[in-house]
Amino acid sequence: DAGVIQSPRHEVTEMGQEVTLRCKPISGHNSLFWYRQTMMRGLELLIYFNNNVPIDDSGMPEDRFSAKMPNASFSTLKIQPSEPRDSAVYFCASSSGTRVDEQFFGPGTRLTVL
């Protein structure tokens, strides 16, 4: 198995632009998580999907952030419009239903908003 796949690995954009991050979870996993990591705050859970349905989105910072999971093998995290304070590493993780808290992380997307 290739593990959790994220794209792009690096993204540099200008303030105000739309940014879309993509994630392919491990095949067979039915839970998917989006995290943001910064030096100041560490890892923060943004949103959690179970069987493609958003279960907990209390960590989504504001309306500029949205996430979708149209099917079991794909999810997106969109920021529109982006701001410099959104600069961070965004991780996607997935887990199986039997051990929902045993998460496998992707390599992350490093986002820089100028």
Contacting residues toward another protein, per CB under 8 A: 4, 41-45, 48, 56, 91, 93, 100-103, 105-108
**Closest distance of CB 87 from another protein, Å:** 16
> Could you please report the per-residue DSSP string of the chain?
----EEE-SEEEE-TT--EEEEEEPPTT--EEEEEEEETTTEEEEEEEEETTEEEE-TT--STTEEEEEEETTEEEEEESS--GGG-EEEEEEEE-GGGTT--EE---EEEEE-
**Closest distance of CB 30 from another protein, Å:** 13
Q: Closer to another protein at the Cβ: 6 or 82?
A: 6
**Closest distance of CB 40 from another protein, Å:** 9
